[in-house]
Amino acid sequence: MPGILWFIFLMNIEIDNRLSLVQGYSCLNCGHGCRSFMVPVSRKEREKISSRCDWQAQTGTDTLFIDLPLAGFEQGAIAKKADHRCVFLDSDNLCMIHRKYSLSAKPLACQLFPFVLTPFNGNLRVGLRFDCPGVCQGTGAKLSDNLPELNRLARILYPDGINAEQFTSSLPAISKRNHTNAETFDKINNAIIETFLKVGPEFKNKIYWLTIFASHLEKVKFQKVSSEDFTGLMSLLTEGTSREAEKYNTPGKVVSKRARVLFGQILYLLGHSPEVITLGEKTGFWQKLKARLKDSAEIRMTGRVSGPLPILQDNWHSLDLSQIEQDYGPMPPAAVNLLERYILSRLTGLNYCGLNYYGYSMADGLHCLALSISAVCWLARVNAAAACRNALEYQDIEKALILADSNNGYGSALNSGSAGLRLIYLKEYITAIIFKYIPGTQLKAENK
């Protein structure tokens, strides 16, 4: 019994109350996640699932799993049919494994989705994946209702518990060469959350504030700030930057051609569907070379402001990039609410920096959040244009966020060798990007 108490203490699951107040979650049985991703499975999981019954007869295919050579010998994935459907997904959008046995019989990745667990200071912070339509909807069961299941999964992920010292070396930096301890990091993160919720008047001012605050973080050497001076310093930083953000409504510079090219790379990386390998699909050298050349051409195209829009999605036909550069008017309040919940989930769950976000520092993670939201709003314009509309609707933002978030932090899309250099350059133009692509708001959004 003492061992169990010790374990529970070390494995505390933390769901921020500020997120719980505005965010719920219930599975919609929409099957989106079961069609959109390669689900990783270990060799042990493969053997356990395969031994349960004659799945070939149940699924109508002889191939249940595929190997992923780049992921190592122990790692594979559940096979996908030609329409990207998981081989275990039935015609009612229900998982055959779950229906026949239980949730715990599914691969660990499926059990955890759409939750994200981030180790911090000996505990686990809970975030959510907004590439799940049920999360975007934001209603349903309370997040706290999932605590028993999350505790069970935490025991599987960390069977020996979490040693706080184990993660000291992986604690995100505040900025490059600017580190602090977990307690100070948490206080700064809490100040970010509190100020983000208060600053206004427009949503774009909130995003602009994140970048101002990040820029100031990069200048402060917190190692030299005493505990007595810390509270006063944070008050000065948050109050001063929030006043600056609330008064600002016109960028001082335009997006340069070079900045637009680099931002276009982000648009491409967040705007294409995650790679899915289907049964019978050829994945040899020539197929990969052809795909790489096609990707390179599409990245160059997305960096322009006119010319044909690369067809990254099925509904992107016959569009010109000049259409997307036009003003599509303000966002509906429900769309603003969705994006605010998304940012809040990233901040409270600590999956905007560190272990669950490419090892980025806090400051760089905030800059990336601002660029990601700008990209979502650009993708929403594409959705509106594809529907022959010149005004944004809620579904444009939701569809764009689901697409972008499937690539943002959970795959390698934004973790290329040049990503750091791209971010350094774009910081100079990030304000102009925000005010060009993030629209205003129709009415002041209210929390759900």
Q: Is 384 a domain residue?
A: yes
Residue-wise pLDDT tens digits, 415-441: 766 888 899 999 999 999 999 999 988
105 and 191 within one domain:
no
Same domain? For 249 and 362 the reply is yes
Residue 287 burial by Cβ neighbours in a 10 Å radius (0-12, 13-18, 19+): exposed
Domain limit, last residue, from 97, 113, 129? 113
Instruction: Determine, yes or no, domain membership for 7.
Output: no
Other beta carbons within 10 angstroms of residue 196's beta carbon come to 22
Q: What is the pLDDT of residues 377-405, one digit of tens each?
A: 999 999 999 999 999 999 999 999 999 99
Q: Are residues 185 and 254 in the same domain?
A: yes
User: Strand 115-120 vs strand 123-128: parallel, antiparallel, or unpaired?
Assistant: antiparallel
Residue 425 lies in a domain: yes
Of 67, 93, 113, the one marking the end of a domain is: 113
24: three-class secondary structure by DSSP: strand
CA pair distance 424, 394, nearest whole angstrom? 32
Query: Are residue 234 and residue 97 in the same domain, yes or no?
Result: no
Task: Check whether residue 273 and residue 346 sit in a common domain.
Answer: yes
Whether the per-residue pLDDT at 68 is higher than 80: the answer is: no
Taking residues 338-358, what's their average pLDDT? 95
Q: Is residue 178 part of a domain?
A: yes
**Are residues 352 and 275 part of one domain?**
yes
Q: Is 192 a member of any domain? A: yes
Question: Would you place residue 176 in the very low, low, confident or very high pLDDT band (cuts 50, 70, 90)?
Answer: confident
Is there a domain that residue 209 lies in?
yes
Q: What is the pLDDT of residue 109?
A: 93
Task: Quickly tell me which residue has 């820029």 as its tokens.
Answer: 215
- pLDDT value of residue 138: 96
- Provide the pLDDT for residue 298: 87
Asked if residue 122 has pLDDT above 70, the reply is yes
What is the arithmetic mean of pLDDT over 43-64?
A: 90
The model's pTM: 0.92
CA contacts within 13 A on the Cβ side of 448: 21
Within a domain: residue 49? yes
Do 280 and 368 fall within a single domain?
A: yes
Residues in CB range of 222: below 8 A, 6 or more apart: 174, 178, 180, 184, 188, 230
Tens of pLDDT, residue by residue over 217-249, are 999 988 888 888 999 999 999 999 999 998 877
The rounded mean pLDDT for the chain is 88
Summarize pLDDT for 281-295 with one digit per residue, the tens: 666 666 767 777 788
Query: Containing domain of residue 107, as a range?
Result: 32-113
Q: Is 217 helix (H, G, I), strand (E, B) or coil?
A: helix
* Domains identified in the chain, total number: 2
| pLDDT recorded at residue 247 | 83
Q: Is the pLDDT of residue 444 over 60?
A: no
Domain limit, last residue, from 94, 113, 132 = 113
